[in-house]
């Protein structure tokens, strides 16, 4: 049995999940704990999530290659250990510094993937076939 979701249902599920997540966070982190909460880790997590998203979007056609996943995992572990160290010992890096370092990391990863797998990243925007996708 295959479950097929249309784009409208996916949008509703994502919106519901985001609202539920926001409500859970609002109840889990009450105001008395907010001063103990370290926002630097939120910055680190969002930056890492953006790198993962962009990399997977650019190399989605290589998702079946174990060599790609090995290279990607190596760079992701290096990113978490390298940049994570600055967040662990201090206040972390600024958004500009994270952008520059992450861009350099991604560029090195792209060169290595190109040299080993002979595949360039796919950075062009594709036209969606869905009527629910907004166009600019």
pLDDT in tens, 33-56: 667 767 788 788 888 888 888 898
More confident residue, 118 or 22: 118
Residues 6+ apart with CB under 8 A from 95: 43, 47
Tokens of 2: 């295959």
Give the tens place of pLDDT for each residue, 59-96: 988 988 999 999 999 999 999 898 888 888 888 888 78
Per-residue model confidence (pLDDT) at position 110: 94
Confirm if 106 and 54 have CB atoms less than 8 A apart: yes
Residue 110: count other Cβ atoms within 10 Å of its Cβ: 17
Per-residue model confidence (pLDDT) at position 1: 45
Confirm if 43 and 94 have CB atoms less than 8 A apart: no
Single pTM value for the model: 0.66
Confirm if 48 and 79 have CB atoms less than 8 A apart: yes
Q: Is 30's pLDDT higher than 70?
A: no
């Amino acid at each position: 049995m295959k479950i097929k979701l249309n784009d409208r249902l996916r949008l509703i599920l994502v919106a519901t999940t985001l609202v539920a997540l926001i409500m859970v966070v609002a109840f889990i982190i009450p105001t008395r704990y907010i001063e103990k909460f370290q926002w630097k880790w939120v910055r680190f997590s969002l930056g890492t999530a953006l790198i993962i998203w962009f990399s997977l979007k650019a190399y989605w056609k290589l998702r079946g290659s174990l060599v790609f996943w090995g290279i990607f995992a190596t760079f992701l572990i290096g990113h978490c250990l390298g940049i994570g160290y600055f967040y662990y010992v201090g206040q972390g890096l600024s958004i500009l510094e994270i952008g520059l370092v992450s861009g350099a990391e991604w560029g090195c990863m792209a060169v290595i993937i190109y040299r080993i797998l002979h595949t360039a990243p796919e950075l062009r925007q594709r036209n969606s076939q869905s009527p629910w996708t907004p166009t600019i």
